[in-house]
Amino acid sequence: MSDALARDRAAGGAALAVLERLGIWAALVVLIAIASGLSPYFLSLNNFLNILNQASVVGTTAVGVTLVMITGGVDLSVGSIISLSADIAATVMNGSDGNVPLAILLAVGAGAVVGLVNGVLVAKRNVPSFILTLGTGAAVQGLGLLYTGGTASGVIAPWFQHTIGGRPYLHVPGVVFVFAAIVLVGLLIEKTTAFGSRLFLVGSNIRAAELSGIAVDRVLILAYTLSGTAAGIGGVVLLGRVGVSSAFAGQTYTFDVLASVLLGGTTFQGGRGGIAGTIAGVLLLVVAFNLVNILGLNFNTQLVVKGAIIIGAASLYRLLQRQT
């Protein structure tokens, strides 16, 4: 890379970052404005809480995947982890309040273990994360199916149903509290810890990070473990929202999570983006679906719109990048 190019990139970098970060929020505001114009119901507090409720599983999981993608990797095993975690939580709970702490611990722990395996293989064996997590995802899904026999199993406990699945305080769904807490923790990790800034260094230039003395392996292992953990929590959130486990429930989430992270400006190249953008991406997708509903279009059209939004948003980023 030439010096001139590097200088241009450095000068344009700050402006570009602002544009990129504002871009997704601007798109979100535009969508919200359109939706509010079309339906007076849209701007109600209740609908706002519904949107957060709908975003909770994908959002919780996407926080972890963002950390991995900042390092330049990807985690495609999260959908299977969500399923497995929901299965474990439901069966261990088995309808009794006393079992809830153990159930949540085992469910989230299972996610953390899968993430740890992913992380160790990526860090120590330099395995491409895309195909690796595809493989671990398939294996984990198979384990989940073996564990439950492929049917909904387990019974959720009354306390869990009331607190996580219900609206315990101020009419706010319990899953929204969990979602908010995970976002907060994620942002703190990303913005305030040494690990957070090392994620970006590893993602920008792994060789340079290594040469500057960063324990790259540890950063990678922690990132994937956190991603698995967040997906484990996502499974618990799913169980709270839906009330029953299903071996296939989580499968569809992988792509939604990936789309949210990408829309939020965390690219496959790594080294850029962050959790704040991801949350905007998650909300953008949910609001877009909401909008399609308001317009009276059916679920099938939502899929087309979703695809168009993904391609459109990615193209917009690319355009912004080229202008600098």
Partner 1 sequence: MGVGERASAAGAAPAVVPGRAGAGRFGRGAGTVLADYGIWAALAIAIVVSAATAPRFLSGANIHDLMSAMAVLGIVSVGQTVVILSGGIDLSVGMLMGLVTVLTNGIMNGDAALAWPMVALGLAIGLGVGLLNGGLLVLTRIDPLILTFGMLSILTGAIFVYTDQTVGAAPANFRAIAQGSLGPFPYLFLVMVVAAAIAWLVLTRTRFGRYVYAIGGAEEHARRAGIPIAPMKVAIYAISGLTAGIAGIGLAARLGSGYTLAGQGFELDSIVAVVLGGTSLAGGRGSVIGTIGAVVFLAILSNGLNLAGISPYTQQVVKGLVVVAAVVLYTRARRA
Within residues 44-73, the interface with partner 1 by CB under 8 A covers 72-73
Stretch (H or E) spanning 212: none
Report the phi/psi class of residue 7: left, alpha or beta, with left for phi > 0 and alpha for psi in -120 to 50: alpha
Amino acid at 223: A
Q: Candidates 7-15, 30-38, 82-90, 233-241: pick the segment binding partner 1 (CB under 8 A).
A: 7-15
Rule CB under 8 A: is residue 206 a binding residue for partner 1?
Answer: yes
For residues 46 and 151, which CB has a smaller minimum distance to partner 1 in the complex? 151
Given candidates 17, 105, 155, 215, which one binds partner 1 under the rule CB under 8 A? Answer: 17
Rule CB under 8 A: is residue 14 a binding residue for partner 1?
Answer: yes
Binding mask 132-161 for partner 1 (x = CB under 8 A): x-xxxxxxxxxx-xx---x-----------
- From the list 284, 204, 221, the residue with the least C-alpha distance to 26 is 284
Closest approach of partner 1 to the CB of residue 102, in Å = 25
The site for partner 1, by CB under 8 A, has a size of: 80
Q: What is the footprint of partner 1 within residues 86-115 (CB under 8 A)? A: none
Given candidates 59, 235, 264, 274, which one binds partner 1 under the rule CB under 8 A? Answer: 274
Q: Which positions ≥6 away from 211 have C-beta within 8 Å? A: none
Given candidates 126, 169, 170, 171, which one binds partner 1 under the rule CB under 8 A? Answer: 126
- From the list 274, 281, 272, the residue with the least C-alpha distance to 314 is 281
DSSP state of 318: H
Binding mask 281-320 for partner 1 (x = CB under 8 A): ------------------xxxxxxxxxxxxx--xx-xx--
User: Would you state the structure tokens that stand for residue 278, as one six-digit string?
Assistant: 């991801």
Rule CB under 8 A: is residue 270 a binding residue for partner 1?
Answer: yes
Where are the alpha helices (H) located in the chain, listed in sequence order?
3-38, 45-70, 78-93, 100-125, 129-148, 158-163, 174-192, 194-204, 206-211, 216-242, 253-263, 275-294, 299-323
268-284 CB burial, b ≥16 within 10 A, e <16 = eebbbbbbbbbbbbbbb
Q: What is the footprint of partner 1 within residues 234-263 (CB under 8 A)? A: 255, 258-259, 262
For residues 7 and 102, which CB has a smaller minimum distance to partner 1 in the complex? 7
